[in-house]
Amino acid sequence: MDVYFDNAATTVVSEEVSAEMQRVMREEYGNPSSAHYMGRRAADELEKARGSVAAALGAGPDEVFFTSGGTEADNWAILGAAEIFKHRRGHIITSAVEHDAVIEPVKKLKAAGWEITCLLPDSSGRIPAEAFAAALRDDTVFASVMLVNNETGAVNPVNEYAKEVQRRRLPVVIHTDAVQGFCKTPINAKRLGASLISVSAHKIHGPKGVGALYIKKGVKLPRMIFGGNQENGKRAGTEALPAIAGFGEAARTGLDILEKSAAGAAALREYIVKRLAEELPETVFIGSGDSPYLLNLSLPGYKSEVILNFLESEGICAAKGAACKKGARSHVLEAMRLSNRVIDGAIRISFSRYNTMEEADYFVNTLKKAAHRLIRI
C-alpha cells in the first residue's frame, strides 16, 4: 500500500487545478501585459486568480502580489521592510522556530548591523503573546513570526501580537509566514492584523513555483525584482499565468471546502494519536496539535532516519521535518528544548484531504512493526 503522509512538504496537484492550468496554457496563452485581445483575456485570467487568492486571505485583490513561491514572498517581506526602515536601522523581532526562508534573510540583516530578538517557543511550540509583548521596544520596527509552524502545527497568536502593537501605538510592521495555514485555517487579513502575509500554492494542491505576498494597503514595500511594471509595478517579469491560474483554482476550492477538509484531517490525526497512545505507549507527541494537518511524534531510543527508511520500505512517505532541511537536525525541536532522545526519534506526518482512515490504520500498524523489529539505541 502506498501512503503519502508528507503533505506539509508538498501536495498532489488536484484534478481541478490541473484542468484549469491546461485550459489556460492551451487557450489563454497571451501575455497579460499585451494590449491586443489575447493579452486582455490573459489579464482577465490573471485578475480572476488574484481575486480567488485575495478572497481566501480576506483581503482586497489590490493587496495581493504574485511571487515564485513562499520563499520569495518571505524574502521580499523581510528585506523590503528593512529597506523601508533603513535610515532608522531599528530592532527586529522573530522566532527560533521560523522556516529557513525567514531565518536566512534575518541573518543577513543581523550581519548588516540590525538588532534581532529571537523568541523561543513554549512547550506547546507556540510563541506566547506575553513573550512577544515583552520583546517589543520603542525602536522595534519589524516583526516576523509564522502563523502555523511547519513541523509541529503550533498556531501562533499573530492577532494578539498586532493588538499589542496597536495598544502601544508602535510603528511596527508585522509579517507572518502563513504558508502552512493558508486554506487550512480561517484567515482574514484584516482581523489577523499582519501587514505582510506570505502564502504558497503547492501546499494546497496547487502547482510548485507560485506564491503570493499580501501587502496591506498603505505599506510602501519596495520592489525586489526590477524590469517591467508587472504586478502593479511591484514585481517585474511576465507572470507565470498557467501556474497563477492553478493557484487561483486551488485557493477557490480550498476556501470552499476548508471546514470539511480540516474536519477530515482532524479525524485522521485524532485516530492515529488515540491508537498509538494505546498500542505504542512509548510514543511522545510533540507540540500543541493546533493544526489538524500536522502530527509530530517521537519514538525515543530509535533513530528517525531508520524509522523513516522502514516506513518507506513499506510504502509510506513521511519526514523528519521541513523538506528543505535535507535531513539536518530540527532547529524547531531544539528550540523547544526537547531531549536529544526525543529529537533524534522524531518524525513528522502531515495530511491532506485525499488521505483516508485506511491509510491511517496502515501507518499505525507499520509504525508498530518498526518499533518491534528495529533495534533501540
Is the dihedral angle over the CA atoms 35, 38, 42, 47 positive or is it negative? positive
Contact 38, 267 (CB under 8 A): no
Identified catalytic residue from 118, 183, 317, 324: 324
Q: Is 301 helix (H, G, I), strand (E, B) or coil?
A: coil
d(CA 96, CA 35): 48
CB atoms within 10 A of CB 131: 17
Is the dihedral angle over the CA atoms 62, 240, 179, 13 positive or is it negative? positive
Task: Tell the residue number behind the cell numbers 533524534, with chain if given.
Answer: 344
Rounded to the nearest angstrom, the gap between the alpha carbon of residue 172 and the centroid of all alpha carbons in its chain is: 22
Phi, psi for residue 114 in degrees, rounded to 5: -75, 145
Q: Is 174 helix (H, G, I), strand (E, B) or coil?
A: strand
d(CA 82, CA 102): 13
**Long-range CB pairs of 260-265, under 8 A, 24+ apart, other chains included:** 260/353, 261/184, 261/352, 261/353, 262/184, 262/185, 262/292, 262/293, 263/292, 264/351, 264/353, 264/355, 265/184, 265/292, 265/293, 265/351, 265/352, 265/353, 265/355
d(CA 154, CA 137): 25
Task: Tell the residue number behind the cell numbers 486571505, with chain if given.
Answer: 57
Contact 102, 177 (CB under 8 A): yes
d(CA 327, CA 348): 12
Contact 90, 115 (CB under 8 A): yes
Estimate the crossing angle of helix 241-256 against helix 37-57, to 10 degrees. Answer: 30
Respond yes or no: is residue 324 known to be catalytic.
Answer: yes
Catalogue the active-site residues: 324
